[in-house]
Structures are given as structure tokens and as C-alpha cells.
Chain A
Amino acid sequence: MYDRRIAARVKGKVYKTVVRPAMMYGLETVALILSQFVILFWKCLQNHNVWHNASVYNKPFVESFEETPLLVAVLTYMGYGILTLFGYLRDFLRDWNFEKCHVAKERDEQKDFVPLYQDFENFYTRNLYMRIRDNWNRPICSVPGARMDVMERVTHDYNWTFKHTGTVLFDVINMGSYNYLGFAENSGLCANAAVEAAMKYGLGVCGTRHEIGNLDKHEELEKLVARFLGVESSMVFGMGFATNSMNIPTLAGKGCLILSDELNHASLVLGARLSGSTIRVFKHNNMQSLEKLLRDAIVHGQPRTHRPWKKILILVEGIYSMEGSIVRLPEVIALKKKYKAYLYLDEAHSIGALGPGGRGVVDYFGLDPCDVDIMMGTFTKSFGAAGGYIGGNKELIDYLRTHSHSAIYATSMSPPVAQQIITSMKCIMGEDGTTLGQERLCQLSKNTTYFRRRLQEMGFIIYGNNDSPVVPLMLYMPAKIGAFGREMLKRNIGTVVVGFPATPIIESRARFCVSAAHTKEMLDTALNAISEVGDLLQLKYSRHAWPSDEETNHFSYLDSHQD
């Protein structure tokens, strides 16, 4: 009798921990994998590099997304399959107390509350992310410049907790920070000016722009930003993410349509969602897809009511931070004009990093900034500061001043941060009386071309535009994400690796951000290490024919950007 009861309980537990999840996840996993295969084949059928409307570009627009080799794709899915199976096994063992469970527990008093997290919500974190968690959040203790000091940490429980050993890995080459123009500095003009501003104004503001938090520094900065962008007026905000999420709702609302690129940043997605508009998504940088959505939207009007849309807002980014692609701006502008839509351009990564004058993607294509209705960007990257801006005509900015959530409810920008932007921007514009800014711009462009070219020659699959300083290198398999990050750090190079959910499930990648502060020696050291690790992990997937090694030797660093 007693035995039977135990048996029943064991059976119940087995059912709860094995059968039920297996049924739930098993079906899901199979469906997921199958659907991914369909997408994969579909992608193989389509040609990725479509060239159209070449006439609107004043320079070659070369962007490549080499398709995933089929075998690699299959192996990647198998990798995830094995990881998932082991995940179930480990969860099972944890449930039966065979394995120590490190997950923080709910306090006893609240055990009978509705669980704060569903068990399956964290399956991925617990069983996949946790294994390679040491590749992220690596603490540093220096300027995030071309070289940085990384604090060494160890784990005795497989990445559940970390301990700092106290040792510092000095002068790690930094290929991860968005320091495009090398303005992340602790000495020199910018830092000195920031020190002075901090001495004069203090650090905080303790008020919003509307409530005694509007400093003369902010006004000075806004005038300069407007001049830099070539627009009538501008407004600055304390956080880049919030610039998007707090201002899109003031520009669009119910009855408006937002057309958003499928790879837009989370802040744009959040802003669009908070606005209450209808959101439709077009394929990444695909102008046919955008045009179709525009046509259909105007012809059919709003769903159900069939009223015409109040306005249509297109959201695009300058450089896409995970793909390294550059927006097809001339075509977007042509479409926006044809269909009378408004254009919101997020230049988080492109401002300062593209264009002969560092004025972003508009400058890069030689277009008129007035053709972009809302010019948005951040100061975190190229300017080595923090915050964001919106530029445009005076009516737009006046409206934002009176209606932006940020102006009314959020503390304004810290004065030394504002000063850092002012000084670095003046340097880019050459208003400091030197050519240092121009030199940095040239250096960045030279470094980008060199670095991308060399990686392609080595046989890696590199995504994105040839002129983009964001360089994604494809890793595909989940195990290689962790291995690449660790092997690179062993060679004293700090890189960023990303996988699902930041990328599609099979397209895990490493990402390098080229900086003007990198010297040729640093890039060469990094490239040699990448090549070495690439051989070790068999990452040289590319089947494109690039010039052979011999030819490479003729291709020198300086030749690369003489035009």
C-alpha cells in the first residue's frame, strides 16, 4: 500500500518534470526547428544582394550578407537541439536534487503567491546563457579607449557566481566599445573641458527642463547640435534610449501608421508601441517591402474603419548595430517623398562614424538634411558622452519642447556630459582650430576599410556594408559563441559576441567596432588573433573567392583609402 503510494508520487513527479515539459517543449522545439528550416530554404532561393535603383546613389553601395552554408545551419540546429536536451536533463536533475540548484529562490513567506516567473521563461537563461555568461558584463577599470583594463574574474560554480581575483588584465585591445572616433579619453581637450564644467556646475541638475533645470550649457549644446546637423533647431535628452521611447509617442498616436524596419533597436520598438499607433514591419532595408506597405496603407486606409491614415511615419536606423548595414537612405527619401510619409532617422551608430564631415548617414550619401523630418541620434558612441538628440525644423522642436515626456518629467543632462559633447563636436567640425577631428574621421574610415577587407580575405563571413565600422563576423554555432569570446580574451583582445535573442537563432556572431583610436599595429594584432582563433574554431566559412594571400601582401594599409 505504502509502496504504491510512493510509486504514484514518483510517477506524478516524473510526469511533472519529464513528460509534461517534454510534451510542451518537444513540440515547440520541433515546430521551431522546422519553421527555421523553411525560412532557411526560402532565403536560399532568394538572392540576398539585390541591386536596384543604383541611379540614386552617388557612390557604390556594397553590402553583403553571405547566406549560411547549409551544413553549418544543420549543425547549428543540432547544437541547439543537444543543448536543449541537456537542459531538460539538468532541470530534471535539479528538480530531484541530484544537482545543486543555484537559482535564487522565492522567500518562504511568499511561496504561495503566484510565481513571479514561469518556469519555462528562464529555461534558455538557465541552461544555455548561463554556460557562456562569462563573455558578457566583463567589468573594466579604465577608459574604454583603444586599449582597456579588464578585471579578471573566476567562477567556481559554472558561471552562477563570479569572484574578482583582484588581478587586472592590462591593455586588452578593445574591439567592443562604440568608441568610433576615439573620444573616450581621460585626458586632452574634451576631458579637461568636462572637468571644468563639473567644477563650475556640479554633477546633477536636480530638475527637469521645464522646472529650473534648463542650464545655459544645454542651450549652447542645442544650438551647436543644430548647426552640426544642418537643421533649424534641436533638442537634447539625458538618455539615448529614452530619446526614442519618450519622443515617438509625442509624434504619432492613434490613427497614425508607423512603418518600422524589422531590425530596429528596442528603443524604437518601445517608442512605437507606447505611441498607440498601428505598427507594420518591413523587411530589413528592403525597399520593395517598404513601398508595398506604403502603397497598401494609403490605398486601403485604416483597418476596419477604412478612414485614411492621419500620417505615416517611417522608422529607420543609420547603421544597424547587429548587421553592420547602412540604411538605403536615398531610396527611403524618394519613397517618403512619393508617398508623403514622414521619416524618423535614428543615427545612434552612424552620427560621427559616417560621412566625410562625420555628420552621419545623410552626409555619407551627400543628401540634404532637410529631407529627413526627424534626425535622431545619440551622444554615447562617437562623442564619448551620454544622451541623445532630436533635430529638425523649428516647428517640430518647439512642439517637442512643450510636449516631450523627457522635457517635462525627466531630469536634464548632466553639465560635464553636455560639455564633453560640445568639445568633441567642435573638434569634429574643426571649430577648435585644429584638423584633429578631420584626421580622426579619415583614420576611422581607413581602419574600417582595412579591417573589413582583411577579415574577408581570411575567409570569414562578414555581414554589412563595406563602409560600416560595425563589423559582424558570423559564428553560427552556439558553442562557438563562448569559445570565441574566451579565446580572444586569452589573446588579450576584448570582443563582443552575440547570440539569440539579439540575433536570429542560427546567426550568432562576434561583433567588432572599429575605432579611430586603433593603430595599425593594434588592428594587425587583433586580426592575427582572429585568424588564429578562426582556424582553431573553423570559422572561415566563406565560399566567396577573395584575392589570394599573395595578392593581399600587395594590398597595403595605406593604399586602401587613397581615393
Chain B
Amino acid sequence: MIQTTKMASGQQWVLVEMVQAFYEAPAYHLILEGILILWIIRLLFSKTYKLQERSDLTEKEKEELIEEWQPEPLVPAVSNDHPSLNYDVVTGPPSHKITVNGKECINFASFNFLGLLDNERVKQKALASLKKYGVGTCGPRGFYGTFDVHLELEERLAKFMKTEEAIIYSYGFATIASAIPAYSKRGDIVFVDEAACFSIQKGLQASRSFIKYFKHNDMEDLERLLKEQELEDQKNPRKARVTRRFIVVEGLYMNTSDICPLPELVKLKYKYKVRIFLEESMSFGVLGEHGRGVTEHFGVSIDDIDLISANMENAVASIGGFCCGRSFVIDHQRLSGQGYCFSASLPPMLASAAIEALNIMEEDPEIFTILREKCKHAHKALQDIPGLKVVGEAFAPALHLQLEHSTGSRESDVRTLRSIIDYCLDRQIALTQARYLDKEERFLPPPSIRVVVTVEQTEEEIEKATSCIREAALARLE
């Protein structure tokens, strides 16, 4: 009996204290609590279905609707003579000498800038790796898919680029497309060049951030956008404090073959406090004294760039891609880079091939000078071809040849260019068109022929190719 009274009084005391606490609590706290309680009540009683989807159809009517519905076909029909349906078939390796559709040609189409694709040293290293590790890795990096060669390659890439850390992906396309959404989230702002390549566009789409396009290589336009944003920020400083902003540019643009004005970009970066992501697939292993890319070309400190990404499928002639920069930035991708976490790792033999390619690049930096000389030579030789204009920097290894006067229809332009390519193919010069998804590209570049210069091409071969293109242009453009 005594016990129960004690308990009761005890409880009473607690109650009193609660009421007291209620009185003492600050007003904003009570309002917050009140709103929360109301919210919970609302959640408890609100109906789970959306109002607009409620219908009073009978089962029979529903059945009829279901019966009636006819979906579109899964894919629209593709006509058999679609220009890109019938691929050119390459028999044997796509190296300096290439067999396209049964004809042996000199290769002016593959991105094998340094001729490492059929390099004997690279092959031997890869074979040794294959004989040790087999082909596949049978797992993502997290689950026993990390091999010692992956760690070695990451270390070597970091050392080569003189950055703190590097991270490798098993697919070039997935590299920048995974890296961008690892940092830029919903609500963040990305300033991006209009000519950015497709994998950047996909990365931006996956990030769900605000995208602001500036005119290709136009720093004034970029600064205009940055200023606009600055004004916007002043209006809402709270939001501005958590809105990350990035500039995404390419070193050498895949679609236009020209170089980004990196020093100006770095100035803007510090002025407006924006981070720079740099895509270097075309410039890594090409530009700069040691092939480190645009930063070395301009003498910009690599620390000023927040993230550099490149693939190892062009100059390195292997498969995969990498990102490098400070550990503070790069390490985050090991848990947040989708293409890194959720994909099987790079086959070890391809990593070994890349390591050997780096060895060759480090041992003989002369190779980059040779490549630049050849590029300049080709660029000069391709000038003044009637009906065709060269697009791109003189030192860019992959140039575009566009029609000087478009017929107005993309389709017929593509056909004309194809006929030039066929003319050259018949004369042992392998070329290709730059292909795009017409409907998916944000800013579709005009159709063009890609001319790729590699160190393996001799001056005579470049002469032969250019005169062949000239002949073809004369024959097909008149």
C-alpha cells in the first residue's frame, strides 16, 4: 500500500516536472514541437494514394482500358541502309597498318597517338600479367577485385602527373561520368563549356545539378555567368554557403580539337571561388614536355586544378580511365564513384599494359616532341584543301575536317564526307567520320572527318594522306 502511494507520488512528481519544463521551454522550441506533432498527425491520417489517381472505375472498365492500351514498339525500325548500321570491319590489330573491310591501309583513324597499341614491350608486360592473373578480376575493387597491379598503376599515375593520388576506372567513358556526380549534387551549380564531350554531358545529367553552359572557350561569357551567380548569391547568402560550384572543361576538346584557356580559367577560379574539373582524354600523353597534358603545356600548377580525369584508351592504348588530384578530393570517389564501386575492376593485364606505357613515356619524353612536329606537319599540309576546312589547334593529334559549305542537310553532308572517306580507303588511307548521336547531343557539332596523327606515321605517309584527301575533295566536292 505504501509502495503504491510512493510510486504514484513519484509519477506525479515526474508529471509536475514535465509541465514545469513545458513552461520553461523557449517559444520557438514549443512551436517547432507543435509543428512536428501536427506533421506526424497529418502523415498518419493522410491517404497513401495520390488524389488525382483515384478513380471510380469499375473492374470491368479497368479491364477494358487495359485491353485497349497499345504500347509503342520497343524500338523504332531502323532501315537497313542506315549510315551507321554497317560498321567497317577491321581484321587484325588496329595499329599503324590496318586492314579495313579487307583492304590494308595506313591508319589515320585510331587514337593510337604514341603507337603503343602494338608495342612489343607493352605486349610482353601484359602477357606476363595475363599468365599470372588470368583475364578477368571477377569482382569489384571492394570485394577481392583489387590487385597489386591496380595499386601500382594508381601510384605510378599519381607520380607521373605529380599529384597526391590517382584512382583508376575500368572504362574510359565511365571515368568523368562517375566523377562529376560524386561531388556535384542536386542544387549545386556546374559551369560547362558548350563543346564538352558526351561523357561529361552524361555525368552532368547524373549529378542532377544546375547546368550553365558558356560559349565554347569564351571566358567573357563564363565570367558573365559567374557574375550573375555572384549577384544571385548576395541575395541568398545562406544558400550560397552550401552551394558547391564547378567549372568543367576539356583540355583538348574532343569535338573541336582546340585547347582550353587554362590560365584564365584558373584566375576565374580564385576570383569566384569555383572548383575546376579538367577532362584530359585527348591531351594526356600528348601535350606538355613530359606528356602531362594541358597543365604542363601552359605551365599551370597542377594543384590549382581540383580534379583531372583522362582515359587510358587513347595515348596509353589500353582500356580504362583515371582521375588524379589531391587525396582530399580523389579519395572520396572510392566510396562515391559509381563506376568505381559498382563495377568489376580493370583486368590486370590492361593495368600492366598501362604501367609499361607509362614507363615508355617516362623514359623517352622525346616522343611527345616528335608527335607535336608530326601534328604541325599534318595541320599545315591539310590547309587550303578546296571545299574542306581544318578545325583544331596545330598541335592537336586528332583534327576535324569540316565541309566549307554545308549543303544545308546534315544527311547529305554526311554522305559527301563518307564518299571522301571511301575514296581514301580505296587508296590505302583509313579515315573515319566523327560520329555523334544527333538527337542526344546538347550542341551537335557539324559533321566532320577525323584525321588522327600518330608518331608512327612517316612524313611521306602524311603527305600521301593529305594529297589523297585533296584529290578526293576535288573529285567529290565538285
Stretch in A81-89, A397-405, A433-441 touching the partner: A397-405
Closest to B188 in A: A114
Binds B, one of A58-66, A200-208, A524-532, A537-545: A200-208
Give B313-352 interface residues, CB cut-off 8 Å to A. Answer: 313-314, 316-319, 326-329, 331-332, 334-335, 338-339, 341-344, 346-347, 349-350
**Judging by beta carbons under 8 Å apart, are A385 and B98 in contact?**
no
CA distance A270 to B208 in the complex (A): 12
Q: Is the CB–CB distance between A386 and B94 below 8 Å? A: no
Interface string of A110-125 (1 = CB under 8 A from B): 1011111110000001
| A215-B94, A267-B342, A384-B135 as given contacts; A141 in contact with B143, CB under 8 Å | no
A158 at the interface (CB under 8 A from B): no
Q: Which of B53-108 contact A (CB under 8 A)?
A: 53, 55, 57, 62, 65-66, 69-78, 82, 84-85, 87-95, 98, 100, 107
Task: Tell me the bound Cα distance from A409 to B132 in angstroms.
Answer: 32
Complex contacts, B395 vs chain A, CB 8 Å? none
Looking at the assembled complex, report how far the CB atom of B237 sits from the nearest CB atom of chain A, in whole angstroms: 11
Residue of A nearest to B125 (CB): A203
Residue of A144, A191, A246 ringed by the most chain B CB atoms within 10 A: A144
Residues of B within 8 A of A339 (CB): 66
Q: Is B198 an interface residue (CB 8 A)?
A: yes
Report if B141 contacts A (CB, 8 A): yes
A225 sits at the interface (CB 8 A): no
| Bound Cα distance from A139 to B154, whole angstroms | 13
Q: CA of A116 to CA of B243 in the docked complex: distance in angstroms?
A: 9
Q: Of residues 278 to 295 in B, which have CB atoms within 8 Å of A's CB atoms? A: none
Neighbouring B residues of A341 by C-beta, 8 Å: 71
Contact A114 B148 (CB under 8 A): no
A212 & B432 in contact (Cβ 8 Å cutoff): yes
A114 touches B273 (CB 8 A): yes
Instruction: Name the B residues within 8 Å of A136 (CB-CB).
Output: 142-143
Tell me whether B314 and A206 are in contact (CB under 8 A).
yes
Are B332 and A251 in contact, CB atoms less than 8 angstroms apart? no
Interchain CB contact under 8 A, B144 and A198: no
A203 touching B89, Cβ below 8 Å: no
A184-B136, A202-B117 known; A298-B78 Cβ under 8 A: no
Give the residue of B100, B142, B198, B341 whose beta carbon is less than 8 angstroms from that of A212: B100
Q: Is the CB of A299 within 8 A of B146?
A: no
Q: Is the CB of A311 within 8 A of B53?
A: no
B387 interfacial contact with A, CB 8 Å: no
Chain B's closest residue to A344 (CB) is B74
Of A129, A138, A179, A295, which contacts B146 at CB under 8 A? A138
In the complex the two chains form, what is the Cα distance from A138 to B437 in whole Å?
A: 40
**B137: CB under 8 A from chain A?**
yes
Complex interface: chain B residues within 8 A of A174 (CB): 144
A417 and B347 contact, CB distance less than 8 A: yes
CB-CB under 8 A for A207 and B142, given A214-B88, A373-B74? no
Stretch at the interface among B171-179, B216-224, B360-368, B408-416: B171-179
Per the bound structure, the CA–CA distance linking A142 and B127 in Å amounts to: 14
Enumerate chain A residues within 8 angstroms of B172, measured Cβ to Cβ.
Answer: 410-411
The chain A residue with its CB closest to the CB of B95 is A202
For residue A379, which residues in chain B have a CB less than 8 angstroms away from its CB?
136
**Per-residue B-contact encoding for A234-263, CB less than 8 Å = 1, 0 else:** 000011111000100001000000000000
- Given A206-B314, A373-B74, A380-B136 contact (CB < 8 Å): yes
B82 and A402 contact, CB distance less than 8 A: yes
- Among B12-20, B199-207, B377-385, B462-470, the stretch that binds chain A is B199-207
Smallest beta-carbon distance B346→chain A, Å: 8
* Per-residue contact bits, chain A 175-204, to B (CB 8 Å; 1 contact, 0 not): 011110001111100110011001111111
Measured between beta carbons, the chain A residues less than 8 angstroms from B242 are 114-115, 118
Task: Tell me whether A151 is interfacial, beta carbon within 8 Å.
Answer: yes
Query: How far, in Å, is B188 (CB) from chain A's closest CB?
Result: 9
A415 to B435 alpha-carbon distance, docked (Å): 22
Q: Give the distance in Å from the alpha carbon of A206 to the alpha carbon of B172 in the complex.
A: 11
**Contact partner, B66, options A210, A299, A311, Cβ 8 Å:** A299
A184 / chain B contacts, CB cutoff of 8 Å = 134-136, 138
Cα A374 to Cα B74 with chains together (Å): 10
Given A241-B339, A298-B65 in contact, is the A402-B130 Cβ separation under 8 Å?
A: no
Chain A residues with CB under 8 A of B183:
116
Q: Is B210 an interface residue (CB 8 A)?
A: no
| B133 contacts A by Cβ under 8 Å | yes
Interface residues of A in 340-360 (CB under 8 A from B): 340-342
Tell me if A199 and B123 are in contact (CB < 8 A): yes
Contacts of B347 in A (CB 8 A): 385-386, 414, 417
Residue with the highest number of chain A CB atoms closer than 10 Å, among B84, B85, B273: B84
How many chain B residues touch the partner (CB < 8 A)? 121
Q: Which residues of B contact A212 (CB under 8 A)?
A: 88, 90, 94, 98, 100, 107, 109-110, 430, 432
Count chain B CB atoms within 10 A of each CB in A104, A241, A311 and give the residue with the most: A241
Chain B residues within 8 Å of A426, by CB: none
Q: How far is the CB of B21 from chain A (nearest CB, A)?
A: 17
What residue of chain A has the Cβ atom nearest to residue B245's Cβ? Answer: A114
Q: Are B71 and A309 in contact (CB under 8 A)?
A: yes
- On chain A, the residues within 8 Å of B273 by CB distance are 110, 112-114
> Are A195's CB and B171's CB within 8 A?
no
**B residues in contact with A77, CB < 8 Å:** none
Give the residue among B75, B78, B94, B95 with the most A Cβ atoms within 10 A: B75
How many whole Å from A244's CB to the nearest CB in chain B?
10
> For A145, what are the chain B residues with a Cβ–Cβ distance below 8 Å?
134
Residue B122 at the A interface, CB < 8 A?
yes
A186 touches B133 (CB 8 A): yes
CB distance from B51 to the nearest CB of A (A): 11
Contacts A114-B273, A202-B95 given; does A274 touch B135 at CB 8 Å: no
- Which B residue's beta carbon lies closest to that of A117? B332
Contacts of A138 in B (CB 8 A): 144, 146
Answer whether residue A432 sits at the interface, using C-beta atoms and an 8 A cutoff. Answer: no
Binds B, one of A2-10, A300-308, A449-457: A300-308
Q: Flag whether B22 is at the interface (Cβ < 8 A).
A: no
Contact A340 B110 (CB under 8 A): no
Q: In the complex, which residues of chain B have a beta carbon less than 8 angstroms from the beta carbon of A112?
A: 273
Partner of B343, one of A117, A208, A241: A241
Tell whether B353 is near chain A: CB-to-CB under 8 Å.
Answer: yes
Given contacts A186-B134, A395-B73, 10 further A-B contacts (CB under 8 A): A116-B332, A144-B133, A144-B137, A203-B317, A212-B94, A212-B109, A216-B91, A299-B65, A299-B66, A408-B198
4 nearest CB pairs, A to B: A239-B171, A399-B75, A241-B343, A214-B87
21 contacts across the A-B interface (CB closer than 8 A): A104-B331, A116-B332, A139-B147, A179-B138, A190-B135, A200-B92, A203-B350, A206-B110, A206-B317, A212-B107, A212-B432, A216-B92, A239-B170, A310-B72, A380-B139, A384-B135, A386-B136, A395-B77, A398-B85, A401-B85, A402-B85
Binding site for A on B (CB under 8 A): 50, 52-53, 55, 57, 62, 65-66, 69-78, 82, 84-85, 87-95, 98, 100, 107, 109-112, 117-118, 122-123, 126-127, 130-139, 141-148, 150-151, 170-174, 183, 197-199, 202, 205-206, 240-245, 270, 273-275, 303, 311, 313-314, 316-319, 326-329, 331-332, 334-335, 338-339, 341-344, 346-347, 349-350, 353, 430, 432-437, 440, 450
